[in-house]
């Protein structure tokens, strides 16, 4: 008897475009490059039944099932990054040394439930 809101393709879990410009956070005075990067983010629902395209874990499949039976007691699984890639940053430190640093898990490539 659970009431399901209709899930349209636009609000299912997927990676959304987000460009982060370092100027927006006031970091342009120490970061040399890049000026920003395509960070992206995950957003959307993980509806029942989970289709293959939503990259659901076994846990998420069971959680959506339980959620469909008890929507108030059990939340829907979350839409989270499942594949991330690194970026490199060139910057000046406090001593004016030039530093190149590689950071893992900075760009959201793929999302899943």
Partner 1 sequence: EEMKSQERLFLSSLGLSGRPRPAGGHQPRRRVPSALWRMFRRSENMQAQESDPCTVSEYGVRGNIIRYVQDQGRLVSGWSSSCQVCLEKQLFFNMSVLQPVELLSLAQLEIKFHWKPFRSAELLQGPRALSVSLYKVIRATLRGANPQANRRLLLSQSVRLQPEPSSITMDLTSLAESWRKPGRNYGLVLELLPLSVDPEELLPFHPGNSLPLEPALTLPLIQASLVAVSLNPHQCRSRQRR
Q: How far is the CB of 110 from partner 1 (least distance, A)?
A: 11
Query: Can residue 102 be called a binding residue for partner 1 (CB under 8 A)?
Result: yes
Phi and psi based region of residue 40 (left: phi greater than 0; alpha: psi -120 to 50; beta: remaining) = left
CB 32, CB 101: distance < 8 Å: no
Closest CA to 15 of 48, 51, 55, 52: 55
Per CB under 8 A, contacts with partner 1 among 39-68 are none
Residue nearer to partner 1 on the CB measure, 32 or 66 = 32
Binding flag, residue 1, partner 1 (CB under 8 A)? no
**Phi, psi dihedral angles at 11 (to 5 degrees):** -110, 20
* Closer residue to partner 1 in complex, CB, 65/100: 100
List the one residue from 2, 18, 32, 69 that touches partner 1 (CB under 8 A).
32
C-beta of 86: minimal distance to partner 1 in Å?
A: 4
CB 36, CB 21: distance < 8 Å = yes
Please give the Cα distance from 110 to 92 (Å, whole number).
31
Under the binding rule (CB under 8 A), the answer on residue 28 touching partner 1 is: no
Q: By the criterion CB under 8 A, which residues form the site for partner 1?
A: 25, 27, 29-30, 32-34, 85-86, 88, 90-104, 107, 109
């Amino acid at each position: 008897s659970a009431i399901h809101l209709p899930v349209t393709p636009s609000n299912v879990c997927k990676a959304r475009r987000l460009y982060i410009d370092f100027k927006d956070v006031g970091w342009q005075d120490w970061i040399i490059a890049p000026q920003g990067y395509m960070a992206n983010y995950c957003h959307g629902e993980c509806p029942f039944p989970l289709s293959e395209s939503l990259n659901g874990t076994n846990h998420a499949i069971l959680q959506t099932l339980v959620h469909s039976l008890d929507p108030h007691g059990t939340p829907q699984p979350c839409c989270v990054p499942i594949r991330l890639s690194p970026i490199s940053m060139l910057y000046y430190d406090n001593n004016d040394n030039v530093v190149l640093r590689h950071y893992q898990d900075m760009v959201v490539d793929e999302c899943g439930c």
